[in-house]
Amino acid sequence: MTAPDAGRGIGDGERAAEQTTTFGFPRDSFRILHVSTGNVCRSPITERLTRHFVAQRLGVLGGGLVVESAGTWGHEGAPMESHAETVLTEFGADASGFTGRELLDEHVIMADLVLTATRDHRAQVISMGHSAGLRTFTLKEFTRLVRAIDPATLPPLDEGVVMRARALVRAAAALRGWLLAPTAEADEVYDPYGAPLPFFRSIGEEIHQSLDPVVTALTGVSTRA
């Protein structure tokens, strides 16, 4: 079996799902997969900001949360775009050691929550099968749904972040048909590939604003100063 990328916990389909402890992750884990097109701009920013936000709230990226990313036309082995690295650094997040990946069936199989940059990405993930429909959302869609969920209805953090995260996804899926976007574009994070740094910064801020309430809901801990 091929070893996964360091720090990502991607293994070899169902066998890896049964043996996650082999790769240093707890068997009882919750895996978040961020998806964009090339996996060099939007999804790397989202992956690394998610890790950063969780570390701010919980002290370490632990408690069974595994955060990773891939691209529907992923630039396999490519580095993150330099402007994306700059944006992450400006947010205080770690941009080091990243390499792009093409989205594979095993990534979807192992993910408990898939957050995509656009509706097209969401459709592509769902079309891969693996019963992905109820756990795949655009990032902004998931943020909108999470804001409508009463935190008091979720398991407290002392019962474990994994249990809380799974309950959050179930609650968001139940709300999806009732809480629609005001416009189709409201659920999109546009591609900054090839754009100047100011546009990357604006996309980074969109992602930042969308992720903050999501990670707060996942962890049960608000942003720390």
Residue 115: closest CA among 139, 87, 92, 83: 139
Region 50-72: mean pLDDT is 87
- What integer pLDDT is reported at residue 62 of this predicted model? 59
Region 67-76: mean pLDDT is 95
Higher pLDDT, 34 or 74: 34
Mean of all residue pLDDT scores within the chain: 86
Q: What are phi and psi for residue 207, nearest 5 degrees?
A: -65, -45
Residue 162 has pLDDT above 60, yes or no: yes
- Could you give the CA distance from residue 212 to residue 131 in angstroms, rounded to a whole number? 27
Interior/surface letters 115-154, b for 16+ CB within 10 angstroms, e for the rest: bbbbbebbebbbebebebeebbbbbbbbbbbbeebeeeeb
136 and 103 Cβ atoms separated by less than 8 Å:
no
- What integer pLDDT is reported at residue 2 of this predicted model? 33
pLDDT by residue (tens digit) across 16-60? 333 333 234 345 899 999 999 999 999 999 999 999 999 988 876
pLDDT by residue (tens digit) across 81-138? 999 999 999 999 999 999 999 999 999 999 999 999 999 999 999 999 899 999 999 9
pLDDT by residue (tens digit) across 165-223? 999 999 999 998 887 878 878 999 999 999 999 999 999 999 999 999 999 999 888 87
- What integer pLDDT is reported at residue 11 of this predicted model? 30
- What integer pLDDT is reported at residue 27 of this predicted model? 52
Please tell me whether the overall predicted TM-score, pTM, comes out greater than 0.85 for this model.
yes
pLDDT by residue (tens digit) across 137-151? 999 999 999 999 999
